[in-house]
Structure 1
Amino acid sequence: MQPERVPPLPARMGLACYKCFKEDGVRLSRCSGCHRISYCSSDCQKIDWKMHKPMCKAISSIEKSNPIAAMTLFFSLPSEPTTDLNVLHNNTEAHGSNILGFCERSLQRQATIPERNLVGWEPRCMVCTRTDQLIRMEAVKNGETLDNSKRLIPCPQCNLSFCCSPAHWDAARALHHGPCEDAHDGLSHCEMNREVRADIKFADVMVDAMQDAGGQFRWASERIKPAWVSLNGLSWEGEFGEEMRRSVGVPNERPMGPWIRAASDTLTMAMTILYGLEKLNEDGGWTRKHTLTVHILGATMKEIGGAMVFEEILHRLPEVKTLKLVLCGPEMPGGHVPRTIALDTCPECTPRGRKRIHEHVADTYHGFVQNKGSKFEKPDLCIAFNSGASQESRQTWPATFKILAERKIPALFTAFNREEAEGEAALLRTAGAKLHPALGPAKNPWGSIQVIPEPNKVYGFYAGNGWLAGGFK
């Protein structure tokens, strides 16, 4: 039985039914309590009411009976529209933190992930950060009549960015339609939003079609390259587009974008490993090793669930006979003693005697190294995908950084966005690591191109392995 899905982005933003997630061909009605989410029918609302009721009451209490909250929320709003992203993001993060704090005090508990998502992805004006709730509160304060005109205006092209008035859209237009740093191929913020919408619809279709893979589309190439080819200057589309089209049967007239972006979300792990190995090694000796060993730090169920994509490493390194991955992290199943698992290889690799071996270790990496003692063997690469070391996981990583730097173990760390990458790079330098100039902090050319709009911000996106935080040896 599949676990119940967390409402996708359009549902969090009131653009799709919060219960069944339908968006097209339905008439949506806002919840009359919180005005934050929408339903396509009274049946969906009734079914969902038990789950939504606590947060609904918490959100609506801010507007109806909390003058302290109102004063706090209005205090930081800019009087004029601005495109200064630091100002805008500081405002939205402060606003989101305040709203969540008020709600959790009302709930008398921590908010769940879906409840936090309602706060993080609340629609806001791109150039003044006002929300629908703040617009209503201002209207009441000024003695105005509440009607549907007191609501944010969505971009007619992407429907994922908003402004509170036509004048503010005039101020936001250059920012919204200009090149976006977090985008690929020079796309604008608006164009990236449209890709996000397409990817969400693609994911909805895949939920039922890919039940054996947890409802997520995963794909790996079956061809074996005749020799190692440098990844410099290559692209997701160029490397995988045509083979994927043939593999999944997409007609020539249809774009491959959603398929490639979805596949990149897991394939990024294998491609980033290869990119890091290429940059950290001056010669090609690593491409001809009998056994290539990679340690994945802070590993979780994502690496276990996406195990098939790591065979891409063998497929690009035809002279390597065995790929050994050690998946090490406190969240891994099992115990401190490594649990060895021999995985199948593809029909082309098996007759050639090629092997994939995974070891699962439920421990921190510094704990793993210390427990191994004199038996520890330096891997070809240690990699941590989206470690969160500079934000969520500050306590567990410093000892690992230190042991990697002191023992000169080849390592690469990735991050979701620039802010995390720069913060992590500073921590690595503090631990004594000398970062390779090509490995961060910088955008990762083999990061996932399936992006997600940043929560508590009006502009920008994040992606799995989207940035390289730092590599060293």
Structure 2
Amino acid sequence: MRRQKNFGRGADEELSRGLRRLRQHGTRTKLILSLQRRFRVREVGTVRCVLFPFPSPPPLTHFPPTMSVSPYASDNQLISTLLGPRTPSKVLSSLSFLQLVGDQLCSYCLKAKDACPSGLKKCSGCKRISYCSEACQKSDWKSSHKQLCPQFKKVNDFDRTVIGDRPLSLLEFANVQVFIISISDSSFELYGTRQEMRIQIFFQVTPQNKDTRKYIDEQATCQVCNRTPFQKPEYHPFEICSGCNYVRWCSDECKENLSSVHSPKHCAVLRLYVAYNRISIDYALSGQNGRKRPMFQTPNPRDSYIPLSEIADWNDYHCRIFPEFRSKCEATAKGLETSDPASVEGFEMMAMEPACIVLTVIAAIEASGLTTRESLRIHFVGASSRELSGHGMMEELLHYLPCLKNVHITYVGPQAHLCAVLFSLSDGNLACEKCQAKDFSRTASYHGSEYHTFMTRVAGPEDKPDLVIALNSGFTEVIPESWRLTVQNILRQGVPAAFTSYSDVEARQELGVLRDMGAKFLVEPRENKWRGVVPIVNKIAELFSPGSMGMGYDSNWWYVFRG
């Protein structure tokens, strides 16, 4: 974890004053804001989710705007948000696409469109977000929209100036790879170029962070031609598919071509994606379980071992291993105030997503021949909020593997220690009561550094892992030199390591690099049947992974290697 040496002239004093004001709001808030003062925090959504319970204490005054001059402007924007008014939307760890498309729910209270008797009304200024009442509109204006609305209008004006430049449509994606290699026709404009220009305009005044950037990255566009509603001579809301409530089209011409880019299968997947997003909001608003994701564990440790490789898929897993899963999901979903008819299926997706990690780990244990071990030490490399937020599901290691009695998990990554504090993770015995009654243990440690630094400067002989896990590392693209040092360290240890990736292209690129480094593969890159179940929707992804319907998944591909 890198200490913050300079917060900009005068900003440190202002921050100290703000922290003193916060003391009346409890030790937990004081602790986390103290961490923000000491370290550069990038887990914007994580910090927000922890600090903003709902219902909430009285709002505080926004932090002084002079902090925007700091070289750490994005961090200071986070602090300003933390010290600003609490609103319903801030119970979410990040913005939902339902908020971003602007026509599916009230931007302030998050009430669904079909739950609003009078319907939703667009903001008359930017026409990008909607409200169920004048009261919500006024509250949102005070809390955040006053800063966003002028910037949205500038982006809208930009879109109107390029009406004549035809964007690259999804219908032309078949030839796009050739087009990218030899771009010469100035009448075409790549979607990504226009997006970057929008983002530059949007953040001319507002400090950029990954959450507010989503307003541009995930705005509503025509599924066929990629236009926004503002690229028309006159603004008109797009028509929306009644099957999925996600896909939109801008004209009769695009509607005629919709079937070529929106199949029945595509529609069905997106319908569940919408349901997942809606039920996630309702679950957060309900305040259940501290607003964390639901984590349903199997009730008891198993007496016999069923190889995970013999289980066909998630449905088979729930039938043979966890038959109580669906009834628990149904009972919880029906207890929420939600209007989505597919709420149970959406809730199942939300509950299954955290289990993706532990089942991938069990598959790696199996592939590495470690299923009969009584003790295991597992290292997570590059660990951040995704790994740490689902830490409770690691209990399934003790429940699924009958021989396993003690497991220690070491989370290593620049954000690992901070995330452990934010999620209030303990360093004691984390095993459930039934496991502790059998004298089982599940412990964890958290280290805020790069993995190779941890292994060479901090770890002792007793810290050598039995298995290394790296989820969606992207190590050939993200800080490749640092990751090369980490991979070299893993290979020198001679222990099995399981890596996952978002796509086959990424996995095969990593395969080539690892082979050049002398890695031996226990499992060649292949689809991971325990991948995440919630799609990462990206229309441009169809370019690079034909047949993906423009969707990716967490830990979509996996492989296992050793030195």
Which whole-Å CA distance do the structure 1 matches of 2:484 and 2:552 have between them?
A: 24
- State the partner residue of 1:260: 348
Kindly indicate whether the alpha-carbon contact (under 8 Å) linking 1:331 and 1:362 is maintained by their aligned counterparts in 2: yes
**75-84 or 256-265, larger mean C-alpha shift:** 75-84
1:153 paired with 2:239, answer yes
**307-316 or 93-102, larger mean C-alpha shift:** 93-102
- State the partner residue of 1:371: 457
- State the partner residue of 2:147: 54
Which whole-Å CA distance do the structure 1 matches of 2:470 and 2:208 have between them?
A: 28
1:120 paired with 2:217, answer yes
- State the partner residue of 1:471: 560
Equivalent residue for 1:234, pick from 312, 320, 345: 312
- State the partner residue of 1:206: 283
Which whole-Å CA distance do the structure 1 matches of 2:349 and 2:229 have between them?
A: 32
Name the CA shift for 1:91/1:217 in 2 (closer, same or farther; >3 Å).
farther
Q: CA deviation at 1:388?
A: 4.2
Secondary structure in 1 matching 2:404: coil
Percent identity, aligned pairs only, is 23
**What RMSD in Å do the two structures reach over aligned CA positions?**
3.3
- State the partner residue of 1:8: 96
Which whole-Å CA distance do the structure 1 matches of 2:175 and 2:317 have between them?
A: 35
Which whole-Å CA distance do the structure 1 matches of 2:373 and 2:219 have between them?
A: 51
Kindly indicate whether the alpha-carbon contact (under 8 Å) linking 2:329 and 2:347 is maintained by their aligned counterparts in 1: no
Which whole-Å CA distance do the structure 2 matches of 1:385 and 1:80 have between them?
A: 30
Equivalent residue for 2:120, pick from 24, 28, 37: 28
Q: CA deviation at 1:403?
A: 1.8
Equivalent residue for 1:309, pick from 369, 388, 393: 393
Q: CA deviation at 1:435?
A: 4.2
1:288 paired with 2:382, answer no
Name the CA shift for 1:42/1:419 in 2 (closer, same or farther; >3 Å).
farther
Give the total of aligned pairs.
438
Secondary structure in 2 matching 1:447: coil
Kindly indicate whether the alpha-carbon contact (under 8 Å) linking 1:189 and 1:460 is maintained by their aligned counterparts in 2: no
- State the partner residue of 2:546: none
Kindly indicate whether the alpha-carbon contact (under 8 Å) linking 1:332 and 1:361 is maintained by their aligned counterparts in 2: yes
Which whole-Å CA distance do the structure 2 matches of 1:110 and 1:74 have between them?
A: 31
Q: So what's the TM-score if we normalise by structure 2?
A: 0.69
Render the CA deviation track for 1:257-292: whole Å, top value 9, x for unaligned.
Answer: 3343112221111101011222233xxxx1111211
Secondary structure in 1 matching 2:383: coil
Q: Structure 1: which 5+ runs fail to align?
A: 140-145, 179-187
Which whole-Å CA distance do the structure 2 matches of 1:289 and 1:456 have between them?
A: 44
1:356 paired with 2:433, answer no
Q: Which runs of 4+ in 1 moved over 6 A?
A: 87-90, 455-458
Q: CA deviation at 1:419?
A: 5.4
Q: CA deviation at 1:98?
A: 1.9
Q: CA deviation at 1:356?
A: 0.8
1:269 paired with 2:357, answer yes
Q: CA deviation at 1:383?
A: 0.5
Q: Structure 2: which 5+ runs fail to align?
A: 1-50, 54-89, 181-188, 335-341, 420-424, 543-548
Q: Which amino acid aligns with 1:58?
A: Q
Which whole-Å CA distance do the structure 2 matches of 1:393 and 1:40 have between them?
A: 45
Name the CA shift for 1:457/1:42 in 2 (closer, same or farther; >3 Å).
farther
- Higher relative contact order (Cα pairs below 8 Å, separated by 6+ residues): 1
- State the partner residue of 1:245: 326
Kindly indicate whether the alpha-carbon contact (under 8 Å) linking 1:210 and 1:216 is maintained by their aligned counterparts in 2: no
Name the CA shift for 1:95/1:405 in 2 (closer, same or farther; >3 Å).
farther
Kindly indicate whether the alpha-carbon contact (under 8 Å) linking 2:283 and 2:291 is maintained by their aligned counterparts in 1: no
Kindly indicate whether the alpha-carbon contact (under 8 Å) linking 1:381 and 1:409 is maintained by their aligned counterparts in 2: yes
**116-125 or 377-386, larger mean C-alpha shift:** 377-386
Which whole-Å CA distance do the structure 2 matches of 1:63 and 1:360 have between them?
A: 45
Q: CA deviation at 1:164?
A: 1.9
Name the CA shift for 1:343/1:260 in 2 (closer, same or farther; >3 Å).
farther
- State the partner residue of 2:57: none
Equivalent residue for 2:161, pick from 46, 61, 70: 70
Q: CA deviation at 1:214?
A: 3.2
Name the CA shift for 1:162/1:248 in 2 (closer, same or farther; >3 Å).
closer
Q: CA deviation at 1:79?
A: 7.8
1:98 paired with 2:176, answer no
Name the CA shift for 1:61/1:374 in 2 (closer, same or farther; >3 Å).
closer
Render the CA deviation track for 1:103-137: whole Å, top value 9, x for unaligned.
Answer: 22x32x54233421111111222222111121x3x
Q: Which amino acid aligns with 2:106?
A: C
